Chain A
Protein backbone atom coordinates (compact mmCIF):
# COMPACT_ATOMS: atom_id res chain seq x y z
CA UNK A 1 0.00 0.00 0.00
CA UNK A 2 1.49 3.34 -1.05
CA UNK A 3 1.05 6.75 0.53
CA UNK A 4 -1.88 7.69 -1.72
CA UNK A 5 -4.54 5.55 -0.07
CA UNK A 6 -3.99 6.69 3.54
CA UNK A 7 -3.75 10.27 2.28
CA UNK A 8 -7.11 10.04 0.51
CA UNK A 9 -8.77 8.49 3.56
CA UNK A 10 -7.38 11.14 5.89
CA UNK A 11 -8.23 13.93 3.47
CA UNK A 12 -11.78 12.57 3.24
CA UNK A 13 -12.06 12.67 7.03
CA UNK A 14 -10.82 16.28 7.06
CA UNK A 15 -13.34 17.27 4.39
CA UNK A 16 -16.18 15.41 6.10
CA UNK A 17 -15.67 17.65 9.11
CA UNK A 18 -16.18 20.86 7.14
CA UNK A 19 -18.91 19.85 4.68
CA UNK A 20 -21.73 21.00 6.97
CA UNK A 21 -20.07 24.34 7.70
CA UNK A 22 -19.32 24.95 4.02
CA UNK A 23 -22.92 24.14 3.09
CA UNK A 24 -24.44 26.35 5.77
CA UNK A 25 -22.14 29.22 4.78
CA UNK A 26 -23.64 29.27 1.28
CA UNK A 27 -27.27 29.21 2.41
CA UNK A 28 -27.57 32.67 3.92
CA UNK A 29 -29.87 33.28 0.95
CA UNK A 30 -32.14 30.71 -0.78
CA UNK A 31 -30.44 28.28 -3.14
CA UNK A 32 -31.46 24.99 -4.75
CA UNK A 33 -29.28 21.89 -4.72
CA UNK A 34 -27.49 22.10 -8.06
CA UNK A 35 -26.93 25.86 -7.71
CA UNK A 36 -25.47 25.35 -4.25
CA UNK A 37 -23.14 22.63 -5.51
CA UNK A 38 -21.90 24.90 -8.28
CA UNK A 39 -21.37 27.77 -5.81
CA UNK A 40 -19.33 25.54 -3.50
CA UNK A 41 -17.27 24.12 -6.38
CA UNK A 42 -16.53 27.60 -7.75
CA UNK A 43 -15.18 28.59 -4.33
CA UNK A 44 -12.90 25.56 -4.17
CA UNK A 45 -15.06 23.22 -2.09
CA UNK A 46 -16.52 20.64 -4.49
CA UNK A 47 -18.92 18.31 -2.68
CA UNK A 48 -20.23 15.19 -4.36
CA UNK A 49 -23.90 15.43 -5.29
CA UNK A 50 -24.61 12.11 -3.56
CA UNK A 51 -23.42 13.70 -0.32
CA UNK A 52 -24.78 17.23 -0.70
CA UNK A 53 -28.40 16.60 -1.70
CA UNK A 54 -29.23 14.21 1.16
CA UNK A 55 -27.36 16.54 3.55
CA UNK A 56 -29.75 19.38 2.71
CA UNK A 57 -32.73 17.22 3.68
CA UNK A 58 -31.03 16.07 6.88
CA UNK A 59 -30.24 19.64 7.92
CA UNK A 60 -33.84 20.57 7.21
CA UNK A 61 -35.13 17.63 9.28
CA UNK A 62 -32.81 18.68 12.11
CA UNK A 63 -34.42 22.13 12.05
CA UNK A 64 -31.60 24.28 10.66
CA UNK A 65 -32.97 24.98 7.17
CA UNK A 66 -36.29 26.06 5.74
CA UNK A 67 -37.24 25.08 2.22
CA UNK A 68 -39.90 25.75 -0.40
CA UNK A 69 -40.75 24.58 -3.88
CA UNK A 70 -40.69 27.24 -6.59
CA UNK A 71 -42.72 25.98 -9.49
CA UNK A 72 -42.96 29.08 -11.66
CA UNK A 73 -40.22 30.46 -13.96
CA UNK A 74 -38.58 27.34 -15.34
CA UNK A 75 -38.25 23.82 -13.95
CA UNK A 76 -39.57 23.16 -10.42
CA UNK A 77 -36.85 23.60 -7.79
CA UNK A 78 -36.68 23.24 -4.05
CA UNK A 79 -34.90 26.18 -2.47
CA UNK A 80 -33.16 25.92 0.90
CA UNK A 81 -32.05 28.73 3.24
CA UNK A 82 -30.94 29.08 6.86
CA UNK A 83 -33.64 29.67 9.46
CA UNK A 84 -32.96 31.33 12.83
CA UNK A 85 -31.51 28.13 14.36
CA UNK A 86 -29.42 27.57 11.24
CA UNK A 87 -27.95 31.07 11.50
CA UNK A 88 -27.04 30.42 15.15
CA UNK A 89 -25.49 27.07 14.21
CA UNK A 90 -23.51 28.71 11.41
CA UNK A 91 -22.20 31.36 13.83
CA UNK A 92 -21.19 28.75 16.43
CA UNK A 93 -19.55 26.47 13.88
CA UNK A 94 -17.74 29.46 12.33
CA UNK A 95 -16.33 30.46 15.74
CA UNK A 96 -15.26 26.87 16.42
CA UNK A 97 -13.69 26.55 12.96
CA UNK A 98 -11.77 29.82 13.33
CA UNK A 99 -10.49 28.74 16.75
CA UNK A 100 -9.29 25.42 15.35
CA UNK A 101 -7.87 27.10 12.27
CA UNK A 102 -5.81 29.53 14.40
CA UNK A 103 -4.57 26.66 16.54
CA UNK A 104 -3.65 24.59 13.48
CA UNK A 105 -1.84 27.58 11.97
CA UNK A 106 0.25 27.89 15.11
CA UNK A 107 0.93 24.16 15.23
CA UNK A 108 1.90 23.88 11.58
CA UNK A 109 4.17 26.93 11.70
CA UNK A 110 6.14 25.67 14.71
CA UNK A 111 9.83 25.05 14.02
CA UNK A 112 10.67 21.35 13.91
CA UNK A 113 12.67 20.38 17.02
Chain B
Protein backbone atom coordinates (compact mmCIF):
# COMPACT_ATOMS: atom_id res chain seq x y z
CA UNK B 1 0.00 0.00 0.00
CA UNK B 2 1.25 3.47 -0.77
CA UNK B 3 0.26 6.67 1.05
CA UNK B 4 -2.55 7.33 -1.40
CA UNK B 5 -4.08 3.88 -0.83
CA UNK B 6 -3.98 4.46 2.92
CA UNK B 7 -5.78 7.80 2.52
CA UNK B 8 -8.43 6.30 0.23
CA UNK B 9 -9.05 3.43 2.64
CA UNK B 10 -9.52 5.87 5.54
CA UNK B 11 -11.77 8.24 3.56
CA UNK B 12 -13.99 5.32 2.52
CA UNK B 13 -14.24 4.16 6.14
CA UNK B 14 -15.34 7.65 7.24
CA UNK B 15 -17.66 8.39 4.31
CA UNK B 16 -19.53 5.10 4.49
CA UNK B 17 -20.72 6.10 7.98
CA UNK B 18 -22.14 9.43 6.82
CA UNK B 19 -25.66 10.17 5.56
CA UNK B 20 -25.94 9.27 1.88
CA UNK B 21 -26.59 12.80 0.64
CA UNK B 22 -23.36 14.28 2.04
CA UNK B 23 -21.17 11.19 1.71
CA UNK B 24 -19.52 11.90 -1.67
CA UNK B 25 -19.03 15.61 -1.07
CA UNK B 26 -17.41 15.11 2.34
CA UNK B 27 -15.22 12.33 0.94
CA UNK B 28 -14.02 14.63 -1.85
CA UNK B 29 -13.25 17.46 0.57
CA UNK B 30 -11.60 15.14 3.07
CA UNK B 31 -9.36 13.70 0.39
CA UNK B 32 -8.15 17.18 -0.61
CA UNK B 33 -7.60 18.27 2.98
CA UNK B 34 -5.80 15.10 4.07
CA UNK B 35 -3.61 15.17 0.97
CA UNK B 36 -2.60 18.72 1.81
CA UNK B 37 -1.96 17.77 5.46
CA UNK B 38 0.19 14.84 4.34
CA UNK B 39 2.17 16.97 1.88
CA UNK B 40 2.80 19.55 4.61
CA UNK B 41 4.02 16.83 6.98
CA UNK B 42 6.29 15.32 4.31
CA UNK B 43 7.71 18.75 3.53
CA UNK B 44 8.35 19.37 7.23
CA UNK B 45 10.14 15.99 7.54
CA UNK B 46 12.09 16.62 4.31
CA UNK B 47 11.08 13.32 2.67
CA UNK B 48 8.36 11.84 0.46
CA UNK B 49 5.09 10.79 2.07
CA UNK B 50 4.79 7.03 2.54
CA UNK B 51 2.19 4.62 3.93
CA UNK B 52 3.62 4.77 7.46
CA UNK B 53 3.48 8.57 7.52
CA UNK B 54 -0.09 8.53 6.19
CA UNK B 55 -1.16 5.96 8.79
CA UNK B 56 0.36 8.04 11.59
CA UNK B 57 -1.44 11.16 10.32
CA UNK B 58 -4.79 9.37 10.08
CA UNK B 59 -4.50 7.73 13.49
CA UNK B 60 -4.02 11.20 14.95
CA UNK B 61 -7.05 12.38 12.94
CA UNK B 62 -9.20 9.88 14.82
CA UNK B 63 -11.01 6.58 14.38
CA UNK B 64 -13.27 6.70 11.32
CA UNK B 65 -16.36 6.04 13.50
CA UNK B 66 -15.48 8.98 15.77
CA UNK B 67 -14.68 11.31 12.87
CA UNK B 68 -17.90 10.42 11.05
CA UNK B 69 -19.85 11.05 14.27
CA UNK B 70 -18.33 14.55 14.49
CA UNK B 71 -19.87 15.43 11.14
CA UNK B 72 -23.36 14.94 12.57
CA UNK B 73 -25.11 16.53 15.53
CA UNK B 74 -24.40 14.50 18.69
CA UNK B 75 -26.86 11.63 19.14
CA UNK B 76 -27.65 10.87 22.76
CA UNK B 77 -29.88 7.89 23.49
CA UNK B 78 -29.45 7.80 27.27
CA UNK B 79 -28.76 11.15 28.92
CA UNK B 80 -25.35 11.18 30.65
CA UNK B 81 -27.22 12.36 33.77
CA UNK B 82 -29.13 9.04 33.72
CA UNK B 83 -26.01 6.91 33.17
CA UNK B 84 -25.50 5.67 36.70
CA UNK B 85 -29.25 5.16 37.27
CA UNK B 86 -29.35 3.08 34.09
CA UNK B 87 -26.33 1.02 35.15
CA UNK B 88 -27.79 0.45 38.62
CA UNK B 89 -31.18 -0.61 37.23
CA UNK B 90 -29.45 -2.98 34.80
CA UNK B 91 -27.26 -4.62 37.43
CA UNK B 92 -29.98 -4.90 40.09
CA UNK B 93 -32.55 -6.17 37.58
CA UNK B 94 -30.20 -8.80 36.19
CA UNK B 95 -29.19 -9.86 39.72
CA UNK B 96 -32.87 -10.34 40.66
CA UNK B 97 -33.71 -12.22 37.44
CA UNK B 98 -30.65 -14.45 37.67
CA UNK B 99 -31.00 -15.24 41.36
CA UNK B 100 -34.74 -15.99 41.19
CA UNK B 101 -34.09 -18.11 38.08
CA UNK B 102 -31.35 -20.01 39.89
CA UNK B 103 -33.57 -20.46 42.92
CA UNK B 104 -36.36 -21.85 40.72
CA UNK B 105 -34.02 -24.33 39.06
CA UNK B 106 -32.44 -25.52 42.29
CA UNK B 107 -35.84 -25.77 43.97
CA UNK B 108 -36.73 -28.66 41.65
CA UNK B 109 -35.79 -32.12 42.99
CA UNK B 110 -32.22 -32.89 41.88
CA UNK B 111 -31.00 -36.48 42.09
CA UNK B 112 -27.30 -36.34 41.22
CA UNK B 113 -24.29 -34.17 40.40
CA UNK B 114 -25.24 -34.54 36.75
CA UNK B 115 -28.65 -33.10 37.64
CA UNK B 116 -27.01 -30.02 39.20
CA UNK B 117 -25.01 -29.42 36.01
CA UNK B 118 -28.17 -29.87 33.94
CA UNK B 119 -30.06 -27.39 36.12
CA UNK B 120 -27.22 -24.88 35.79
CA UNK B 121 -27.17 -25.37 32.00
CA UNK B 122 -30.92 -24.76 31.80
CA UNK B 123 -30.55 -21.72 34.06
CA UNK B 124 -27.84 -20.34 31.75
CA UNK B 125 -29.90 -20.79 28.56
CA UNK B 126 -33.40 -20.03 29.83
CA UNK B 127 -32.59 -17.36 32.42
CA UNK B 128 -29.22 -15.70 31.85
CA UNK B 129 -29.30 -15.51 28.05
CA UNK B 130 -33.03 -14.79 27.99
CA UNK B 131 -32.59 -12.01 30.56
CA UNK B 132 -31.09 -9.71 27.93
CA UNK B 133 -34.63 -8.42 27.38
CA UNK B 134 -34.16 -6.45 30.61
CA UNK B 135 -31.25 -4.16 29.52
CA UNK B 136 -32.93 -3.85 26.10
CA UNK B 137 -36.14 -2.68 27.70
CA UNK B 138 -34.22 -0.26 29.92
CA UNK B 139 -32.48 1.28 26.88
CA UNK B 140 -35.87 1.84 25.23
CA UNK B 141 -37.37 3.24 28.45
CA UNK B 142 -34.48 5.56 29.28
CA UNK B 143 -34.22 6.60 25.62
CA UNK B 144 -37.91 7.53 25.47
CA UNK B 145 -37.58 9.37 28.78
CA UNK B 146 -34.61 11.39 27.48
CA UNK B 147 -36.38 12.12 24.20
CA UNK B 148 -39.53 13.28 26.02
CA UNK B 149 -37.48 15.59 28.27
CA UNK B 150 -35.76 17.14 25.26
CA UNK B 151 -38.97 17.43 23.25
CA UNK B 152 -41.16 18.81 26.07
CA UNK B 153 -38.78 20.24 28.71
CA UNK B 154 -41.64 21.70 30.79
CA UNK B 155 -43.09 18.26 31.53
CA UNK B 156 -39.92 17.19 33.29
CA UNK B 157 -39.37 20.18 35.54
CA UNK B 158 -38.67 19.33 39.15
CA UNK B 159 -41.56 19.52 41.62
CA UNK B 160 -41.19 19.44 45.41
CA UNK B 161 -42.80 16.46 47.14
CA UNK B 162 -43.33 15.63 50.78
CA UNK B 163 -41.32 12.68 52.09
CA UNK B 164 -44.15 11.54 54.34
CA UNK B 165 -46.83 11.47 51.63
CA UNK B 166 -48.95 8.37 51.07
CA UNK B 167 -47.93 6.83 47.76
CA UNK B 168 -51.00 6.72 45.55
CA UNK B 169 -53.03 8.66 48.14
CA UNK B 170 -55.64 7.53 50.63
CA UNK B 171 -57.63 5.63 47.99
CA UNK B 172 -54.62 3.41 47.20
CA UNK B 173 -54.11 2.67 50.87
CA UNK B 174 -57.82 1.86 51.33
CA UNK B 175 -57.53 -0.55 48.41
CA UNK B 176 -54.46 -2.05 50.07
CA UNK B 177 -56.52 -2.71 53.25
CA UNK B 178 -59.23 -4.40 51.18
CA UNK B 179 -56.49 -6.47 49.51
CA UNK B 180 -55.07 -7.56 52.87
CA UNK B 181 -58.51 -8.58 54.14
CA UNK B 182 -59.22 -10.54 50.94
CA UNK B 183 -55.79 -12.16 51.23
CA UNK B 184 -56.43 -13.20 54.85
CA UNK B 185 -59.86 -14.55 53.87
CA UNK B 186 -58.23 -16.74 51.21
CA UNK B 187 -55.32 -17.72 53.45
CA UNK B 188 -57.69 -19.01 56.13
CA UNK B 189 -59.02 -21.54 53.62
CA UNK B 190 -57.33 -21.44 50.16
CA UNK B 191 -59.94 -23.71 48.58
CA UNK B 192 -62.40 -20.81 48.89
CA UNK B 193 -60.77 -19.48 45.72
CA UNK B 194 -62.21 -22.48 43.88
CA UNK B 195 -65.66 -21.77 45.29
CA UNK B 196 -65.45 -18.19 44.08
CA UNK B 197 -64.30 -19.07 40.55
CA UNK B 198 -66.02 -22.43 39.97
CA UNK B 199 -69.04 -22.17 42.23
CA UNK B 200 -67.93 -25.23 44.22
CA UNK B 201 -67.82 -27.43 41.10
CA UNK B 202 -64.00 -27.71 40.77
CA UNK B 203 -62.35 -31.15 40.57
CA UNK B 204 -61.73 -32.86 43.95
CA UNK B 205 -57.98 -32.91 43.12
CA UNK B 206 -58.01 -29.11 42.98
CA UNK B 207 -59.58 -28.95 46.46
CA UNK B 208 -56.99 -31.44 47.69
CA UNK B 209 -54.18 -29.29 46.22
CA UNK B 210 -55.41 -26.21 48.03
CA UNK B 211 -55.96 -27.81 51.43
CA UNK B 212 -53.53 -27.16 54.28
CA UNK B 213 -51.83 -30.08 55.99
CA UNK B 214 -53.07 -30.73 59.53
CA UNK B 215 -49.55 -30.18 60.84
CA UNK B 216 -49.41 -26.74 59.22
CA UNK B 217 -52.73 -25.71 60.81
CA UNK B 218 -51.36 -26.56 64.24
CA UNK B 219 -48.05 -24.74 63.92
CA UNK B 220 -47.70 -21.53 66.01
CA UNK B 221 -45.99 -19.84 63.04
CA UNK B 222 -49.20 -20.11 61.02
CA UNK B 223 -51.29 -18.17 63.52
CA UNK B 224 -48.48 -15.73 64.18
CA UNK B 225 -48.26 -15.00 60.45
CA UNK B 226 -52.00 -14.41 60.26
CA UNK B 227 -51.82 -12.05 63.24
CA UNK B 228 -48.95 -10.07 61.74
CA UNK B 229 -50.80 -9.70 58.44
CA UNK B 230 -53.91 -8.47 60.25
CA UNK B 231 -51.85 -5.94 62.23
CA UNK B 232 -51.28 -4.12 58.91
CA UNK B 233 -54.97 -3.19 58.82
CA UNK B 234 -55.07 -0.90 61.92
CA UNK B 235 -51.67 0.53 61.02
CA UNK B 236 -52.72 1.48 57.49
CA UNK B 237 -56.05 2.74 58.79
CA UNK B 238 -54.17 5.08 61.17
CA UNK B 239 -52.07 6.36 58.25
CA UNK B 240 -55.22 7.07 56.24
CA UNK B 241 -56.68 9.01 59.16
CA UNK B 242 -53.56 11.15 59.67
CA UNK B 243 -53.07 11.60 55.91
CA UNK B 244 -49.31 10.99 56.07
CA UNK B 245 -46.64 8.56 57.24
CA UNK B 246 -45.17 9.71 60.53
CA UNK B 247 -41.65 8.58 61.51
CA UNK B 248 -43.17 6.24 64.13
CA UNK B 249 -45.54 4.69 61.60
CA UNK B 250 -42.65 4.14 59.20
CA UNK B 251 -40.66 2.37 61.91
CA UNK B 252 -43.70 0.26 62.74
CA UNK B 253 -44.14 -0.63 59.05
CA UNK B 254 -40.49 -1.75 58.80
CA UNK B 255 -40.70 -3.75 62.03
CA UNK B 256 -43.96 -5.42 61.01
CA UNK B 257 -42.66 -6.28 57.54
CA UNK B 258 -39.39 -7.71 58.84
CA UNK B 259 -41.23 -9.73 61.50
CA UNK B 260 -43.59 -11.03 58.80
CA UNK B 261 -40.59 -12.02 56.64
CA UNK B 262 -39.01 -13.84 59.58
CA UNK B 263 -42.23 -15.77 60.32
CA UNK B 264 -42.68 -16.56 56.62
CA UNK B 265 -39.13 -17.95 56.51
CA UNK B 266 -39.96 -20.04 59.58
CA UNK B 267 -43.12 -21.26 57.82
CA UNK B 268 -41.29 -22.15 54.59
CA UNK B 269 -38.62 -24.09 56.49
CA UNK B 270 -41.12 -25.66 58.90
CA UNK B 271 -42.42 -28.38 56.56
CA UNK B 272 -45.26 -28.97 54.10
CA UNK B 273 -47.96 -26.31 53.89
CA UNK B 274 -50.35 -27.84 51.36
CA UNK B 275 -51.27 -31.49 50.92
CA UNK B 276 -49.96 -32.15 47.40
CA UNK B 277 -46.28 -31.80 46.50
CA UNK B 278 -46.77 -29.56 43.47
CA UNK B 279 -49.04 -27.03 45.18
CA UNK B 280 -46.88 -27.10 48.32
CA UNK B 281 -43.72 -26.35 46.34
CA UNK B 282 -45.48 -23.55 44.45
CA UNK B 283 -46.81 -22.01 47.67
CA UNK B 284 -43.41 -22.12 49.33
CA UNK B 285 -41.71 -20.72 46.24
CA UNK B 286 -44.18 -17.82 46.17
CA UNK B 287 -43.50 -17.15 49.84
CA UNK B 288 -39.75 -17.05 49.16
CA UNK B 289 -40.39 -14.61 46.31
CA UNK B 290 -42.44 -12.38 48.61
CA UNK B 291 -39.69 -12.46 51.26
CA UNK B 292 -37.05 -11.54 48.65
CA UNK B 293 -39.23 -8.77 47.24
CA UNK B 294 -39.95 -7.25 50.68
CA UNK B 295 -36.30 -7.39 51.76
CA UNK B 296 -35.26 -5.88 48.43
CA UNK B 297 -37.84 -3.11 48.84
CA UNK B 298 -36.53 -2.15 52.28
CA UNK B 299 -32.92 -2.56 51.15
CA UNK B 300 -33.51 -0.09 48.32
CA UNK B 301 -35.30 2.30 50.65
CA UNK B 302 -32.37 2.14 53.08
CA UNK B 303 -29.92 2.70 50.24
CA UNK B 304 -31.89 5.71 49.00
CA UNK B 305 -32.33 7.28 52.41
CA UNK B 306 -30.57 10.61 52.99
CA UNK B 307 -29.58 11.86 56.45
CA UNK B 308 -27.74 15.17 56.00
CA UNK B 309 -24.64 15.17 58.22
CA UNK B 310 -21.12 16.60 57.89
CA UNK B 311 -18.51 14.11 56.74
CA UNK B 312 -15.88 13.39 59.36
CA UNK B 313 -13.32 12.70 56.66
CA UNK B 314 -11.78 15.94 55.35
CA UNK B 315 -9.30 16.23 52.49
CA UNK B 316 -5.80 17.39 53.19
CA UNK B 317 -3.61 18.79 50.41
Q: Do A and B come from one complex?
A: yes
> Is A57 within 8 A of B36, CB to CB?
no
B29 CB contact (under 8 Å) in A48, A50, A78: A78
Is A16 an interface residue, CB under 8 A from the partner?
no
| Contact present for A34 and B37 (CB under 8 Å) | yes
A71 to chain B, nearest CB (A): 11
Q: Is the interface of B mostly helix, strand, loop or mixed?
A: helix
Q: How large is the interface on A (under 10, 10 to 19, 20 to 34, 35 or more residues)?
A: 10 to 19
What chain B residues lie within 8 Å of A57 (beta carbons)? 22, 26, 71
Are B70 and A48 in contact, CB atoms less than 8 angstroms apart? Answer: no
Can you list the 7 inter-chain pairs with the closest CB atoms, starting with the nearest?
A54-B70, A50-B62, A50-B61, A54-B71, A34-B36, A33-B33, A78-B29
**Chain A 21-35 residues near chain B, CB threshold 8 A:** 32-34
Contact of A50 among B28, B32, B60 (CB under 8 A): B60
- B22-47 with Cβ < 8 A to chain A: 22, 26, 28-30, 32-37, 40
21 cross-chain CB contacts under 8 A: A33-B33, A34-B36, A48-B60, A50-B60, A50-B61, A50-B62, A50-B66, A50-B70, A53-B29, A53-B30, A53-B33, A54-B70, A57-B22, A57-B26, A58-B72, A75-B32, A75-B36, A76-B28, A76-B32, A77-B32, A78-B29
A113 interface residue, CB < 8 Å from B? no
Chain B's closest residue to A67 (CB) is B29
Distance in angstroms between the alpha carbons of A76 and B32 in the assembled complex: 7
Q: Which residues of A contact B71 (CB under 8 A)?
A: 54, 57-58
B53 on the A face (CB < 8 A): no
A77 to chain B: which residues have CB within 8 Å? 32
What residues of B have a CB within 8 angstroms of the CB of A95 in the complex?
none
A32, A51, A75, A76: the one within 8 Å of B70 (CB):
A51
- Secondary structure call for the A interface: helix
Q: CB-CB < 8 A to A54: which residues of B?
A: 67, 70-71
Is the CB of B310 closer than 8 A to any CB of chain A?
Answer: no
A58 lies within 8 A of B73 (CB):
yes
In the complex formed, the residue of A with least CB distance to B68 is A54
Q: Which residues of A contact B33 (CB under 8 A)?
A: 32-34, 49, 53
Interface membership of A55, Cβ < 8 A: yes
With contacts A57-B22, A76-B28, A78-B29 taken as known, whether A50 is within 8 angstroms of B36 at the C-beta atoms is: no
Per-residue CB contact flags for chain B residues 49-92 toward chain A (1 = under 8 Å, else 0) read 00000000000111000110011110000000000000000000
Kindly list 20 other residue pairs between chains A and B, CB separation below 8 angstroms, not including A57-B22, A57-B26, A75-B32. Answer: A32-B33, A33-B29, A34-B33, A48-B62, A49-B34, A50-B67, A51-B70, A53-B29, A53-B30, A53-B33, A54-B70, A54-B71, A55-B70, A57-B71, A58-B72, A61-B73, A75-B36, A77-B32, A78-B29, A78-B32
